[in-house]
């Protein structure tokens, strides 16, 4: 079931310099796709058009993919919609590398990360660029293997990983950029990919910070894990 809520939010950096708060729209989605599915498409900016598709490329369980717009992998963009959907991926993390469309791995972004025109994940710097530089590399990203079965993403293929993917909508007519994210659960052992929720900053040029679980929620998750371990020990 999809629910929508708008919250007033600002990143730590924005608060530190006293800038105005932006409006973040968060959509709770909880939709799971498998390898045989065509994927789940979602409208990030709320204009009634689907902006991104989350799916398994070539129905391969180790090729979970986030693609800008609702076309199939490899055929998009052809012509770019406006605003244009972007995925912060490895192609942008390594600006000195050749512009290889298949070198677009996605890092695992954790809670509390600020997404803006340039931000870091570990030692890497993520940016976005003009779509004319390649066919679809900046509009597509792989969580693990890419289209050529090369491991480029940082989401393990043998674990259940929950994290965020940085997104952006660029309006080239207005010269504005709005930032967002999608939270995914890549359950590699079960070959499923779940779109948990999305976040979108409605104020152009304003960064957005991925949410951190509230202490009470984190405590419950930790307690559940401890009880599960205890139950397994008793069975043994």
Bridge partners, residue 118, by sequence: 127
| Digit-coded pLDDT (tens) for 85-131 | 888 886 554 444 444 444 678 889 999 999 998 888 887 777 775 44
Q: What is the pTM of this model?
A: 0.78
Residue 8 has pLDDT above 60, yes or no: no
Is residue 161 scored above 70 in pLDDT? Answer: yes
Q: Is the pLDDT of residue 196 over 90?
A: yes
Report the range of poorest mean pLDDT among 11-20, 97-106, 123-132, 148-157.
Answer: 11-20
pLDDT band at 222 (very low <50, low <70, confident <90, very high): low
List 127's β-bridge partners, or say none: 118
Write out the H or E segment, with its range, that includes residue 3.
strand 3-9
Quote the Cα angle for 143-147-149, to 5°: 80
pLDDT reported for residue 234: 52
Mean pLDDT estimate for the chain: 77
CA–CA separation, 127 vs 166, rounded Å? 10
Tokens of 184: 């995914």
């Amino acid at each position: 079931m999809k629910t929508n809520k708008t919250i007033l939010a600002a990143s730590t950096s924005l608060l530190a310099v006293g800038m105005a708060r932006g409006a973040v729209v968060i959509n709770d989605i909880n939709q799971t796709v498998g390898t045989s599915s065509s994927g789940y498409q979602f409208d990030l900016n709320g204009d009634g058009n689907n902006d991104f598709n989350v799916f398994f490329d070539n129905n391969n369980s180790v090729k979970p993919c986030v693609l800008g717009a609702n076309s199939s992998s490899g055929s998009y963009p052809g012509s770019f919609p406006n605003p244009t959907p972007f995925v912060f991926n490895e192609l942008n993390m390594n600006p000195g590398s050749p512009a290889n469309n298949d070198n677009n791995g996605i890092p695992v972004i954790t809670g509390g990360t600020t997404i803006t025109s340039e931000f870091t994940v570990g030692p890497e710097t993520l940016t976005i660029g003009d779509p004319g530089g390649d066919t679809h590399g900046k509009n597509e990203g792989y969580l693990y293997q890419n289209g050529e079965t090369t491991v480029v993403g940082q989401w393990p293929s043998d674990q259940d990983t929950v994290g965020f993917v940085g997104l952006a909508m660029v309006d080239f007519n207005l010269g504005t950029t709005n930032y967002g994210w999608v939270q995914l659960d890549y359950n590699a052992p079960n070959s499923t990919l779940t779109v948990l929720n999305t976040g979108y900053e409605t104020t152009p040029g304003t960064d957005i910070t991925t949410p951190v679980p509230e202490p009470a929620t984190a405590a419950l998750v930790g307690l559940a894990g401890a009880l599960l371990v205890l139950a397994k020990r008793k069975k043994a």
